[in-house]
Amino acid sequence: MSSTATGCWFVVLPDAEFPPGLVARLRDRAADEVPHASGRPWLLGSWTATGRMALARAGRRLLALFGEASVPSAALRVRLKKVRALTDLESALAGVHGSFHVAASMAGHGYVRGSASGTRRLYRTEIGGVTVCADRARTLAWLVDARPDTARIVAHLAAPQLPHPLAGASVWSGVEAVAPGDALRTEPGGRGHAAPWWQAPPAELPLAEGASALRDALCEAVALRARPDQVVGADLSGGMDSSSLCFLAAESGASLVTATLHWSAAGNEDREYARYAAERLPGAEPLEFVPEELPACFAGLDEPRPPLEEPSCLLRDRAIQRRLAGELRGRGAVLRLSGHGGDHVVVPPVSYLHGLLRRSPRAALRQTAGFRARGRWPLTATARMLLSRRSYSAWLTAARGHLREDAPVGETPDIWGTYPRLPAWASAQAVEQFGELLARAAERDDLPPASEAGRHARIHQMREAGRIAGLLYEAGAAADLPTHSPFCDDTVLNACLAVRPEDAGSPWSYKPLLAAAMDGLVPDRLLERTTKDHCGTEWHHGLRTHRRQLAAWADTSLLSAAGITEPRALRPAMLSPGLNTGGVAGLENTLGAEAWLREVAAHPEPEYLALRDPQEEPSIDTATH
């Protein structure tokens, strides 16, 4: 791989016996290994070259953090000395900020978790009766020779987003995602089970107190990455999210290089606001790009790259982002800051009004009136949302009947969100498969992650941001410039969740929580901006530019070969996107899924798992699977 960050991976093995050949197969690809106190292998993978793992030992106890963490190995050892059992672990890690995985081994018991935001994900599978977990689903899929799960690929075509618990699920048969906020515990003998390690803080803080906590959390998140001895690249749209990170990075003393895109749609204002911000960032080197200087959207469709963890809409500007990464890297940047997640983390979904009505009817009705006027909500739909008593399981069950509907025009409030819908070119088989996923999800007994609808919607919204942040990091690392999303750090998430939703969300102001947190640091003009630019013109131009390639995809579609899409409907959708009545999200998701399947086919073995010393590979005794 061209990037050591892309090649960073790990597998966690319980302190147990494994089928013959499994450990040897991993060792042939792993550059690093840490054993249990028993001497059996515990961690296998590749991380030393990135410096992204802190390891501590205290007697027969071991603790490792993978990723960006504010505690080095020496300080981690001090914390580990206070741990007598796995139940003490999270208390010992209190105050550690960043974005990281945690792994621990104690007296035959194991503990592994990712981040509550979902940026650092965790996956599991069963091999020979024991539980193995990893930071990448594809590592486990390779290990057990799994294939993509057709129904889960179908789910990635749905728009506007997947509901909990389908969002973030592994797309590989036999490989399961551990839910964000859960840890995987393994017992002596190797059996594993998931248990919660994270609980959302109570939403009790008023705006001023919550803004102070958010400012501290963001300062720590940015300072962890933007150090005085480093050149740091940063996106700068002139919006509140990216501007906040840039001013925090400048305050930390890092040498800042900013990248601003100037989309061509009439009325776009990014250039003006970004220049205003750059002029007030001490020592920053601003870079500006117009569409004519960049690859078109969807460029490089005929160049299958190693697949990301799951299908995504990042295909749209993949070539553009690689170009920007090259420009930033050429000026010395060692990483890139992205404002991704700001919208999702600091602003609660409007479904908080449902719970607010029960706590403070007057405040709820006043804010509802404001949202109704701004969003032109129908009176009937608004009343239905406020008075709804429908459970989340019932909502998931009802969603099955809406899969073929066109997306609603405008915002229609619902306490549990907008129903997922499949595009018109999805096959009847695909509709049935996705419906069965929804039905099985509705039967689960761990729904939803919060009992109050607004709380659930907010946590799910944050985790969707974290999921995309993980893909952004992976895609950036493939371009030799890892992309960090500080808004998706757990400490930032917790700071936002602790604020009363009626203070963090308002129909009369734009991102009031972030504006209050950045008051005095970011210029008022930037904090008062309420517009957001888009690349719709470039999106359509990119599809027109690559019509020939899209036609070839339609004729040889792997989605159609799998029975997921109807060929006669898919071709006109790809070649005449302006005629699609379901909006652009369904088409983008379809292209992302098609590209992902092609990339998996072109790279049947993950490149980061290439044999270090090519020779005959040991086999695993599959009879024990």
Cis peptide before 512 (omega within 30 of 0): no
Report helix, strand and coil shares of the chain as percent, to nearest 5: 45, 15, 40
Q: Is the pLDDT of residue 459 over 90?
A: yes
- Report d(CA 186, CA 143) in Å as an integer: 19
- Report d(CA 244, CA 433) in Å as an integer: 43
In terms of C-beta density within 10 A (0-12 exposed, 13-18 middle, 19 or more buried), how is residue 561 classed? exposed
What pLDDT band is residue 618 in, cutting at 50, 70 and 90?
A: low
The model's pLDDT over 490-528, given as tens digits with 9 standing for 90+, comes to 999 999 999 999 999 999 999 999 999 999 999 999 999
The model's pLDDT over 325-383, given as tens digits with 9 standing for 90+, comes to 999 999 999 999 999 999 999 999 999 999 999 999 999 999 999 999 998 999 999 99
> Which pair of structure tokens corresponds to residue 575?
């070649």
Cβ-Cβ contacts under 8 Å for 349 (sequence gap 6 or more): 417, 454, 457, 458, 461, 505
Question: Amino acid identity of 569?
Answer: A
Q: Is the pLDDT of residue 75 over 60?
A: yes
User: How confident is the model at residue 397, as a pLDDT?
Assistant: 96
User: How confident is the model at residue 624, as a pLDDT?
Assistant: 36
What pLDDT band is residue 413 in, cutting at 50, 70 and 90?
A: confident
Arithmetic mean of pLDDT, 264-291 = 90
User: How confident is the model at residue 622, as a pLDDT?
Assistant: 42
What pLDDT band is residue 197 in, cutting at 50, 70 and 90?
A: very high
CA–CA distance from 596 to each of 43, 59, 121, 273 (Å)? 29, 45, 19, 36
CA–CA distance from 573 to each of 29, 208, 420, 534, 586 (Å)? 42, 49, 19, 22, 10
Arithmetic mean of pLDDT, 183-202 = 95
Global pTM value: 0.94
Give the whole-number percent of the chain exceeding pLDDT 70: 96
621 or 414, higher pLDDT: 414
Q: Is the pLDDT of residue 199 over 50?
A: yes
Please give the angle made by the CA atoms of 474, 479 and 480, to the nearest 5 degrees: 95
Q: Is the pLDDT of residue 31 over 50?
A: yes
9 in Cβ contact with 134 (< 8 Å): yes
> Which pair of structure tokens corresponds to residue 41?
């292998």
Average pLDDT in the chain: 92
The model's pLDDT over 202-230, given as tens digits with 9 standing for 90+, comes to 999 999 999 999 999 999 999 999 999 89
Q: Is the pLDDT of residue 625 over 50?
A: no
User: How confident is the model at residue 303, as a pLDDT?
Assistant: 86
What pLDDT band is residue 410 in, cutting at 50, 70 and 90?
A: low
- Report d(CA 508, CA 387) in Å as an integer: 23
The model's pLDDT over 576-601, given as tens digits with 9 standing for 90+, comes to 876 666 668 899 999 999 999 999 99
What pLDDT band is residue 198 in, cutting at 50, 70 and 90?
A: very high
- Report d(CA 509, CA 511) in Å as an integer: 6
What pLDDT band is residue 614 in, cutting at 50, 70 and 90?
A: low
Cβ-Cβ contacts under 8 Å for 145 (sequence gap 6 or more): 622
The model's pLDDT over 523-579, given as tens digits with 9 standing for 90+, comes to 999 999 887 777 888 888 898 999 999 999 999 999 999 999 999 999 998 888 766
User: How confident is the model at residue 1, as a pLDDT?
Assistant: 34
Long-range contacts of 268-275 (CB under 8 A, 24+ apart): 268/533, 268/534, 269/238, 269/529, 269/531, 269/533, 270/237, 270/238, 270/239, 270/533, 271/238, 272/238, 273/237, 273/238, 273/239, 273/243, 273/525, 273/526, 273/529, 274/236, 274/237, 274/238, 275/238
The model's pLDDT over 34-54, given as tens digits with 9 standing for 90+, comes to 999 999 999 999 998 777 899
Q: Is the pLDDT of residue 179 over 50?
A: yes
The model's pLDDT over 378-399, given as tens digits with 9 standing for 90+, comes to 999 999 999 999 999 999 999 9
User: How confident is the model at residue 106, as a pLDDT?
Assistant: 96
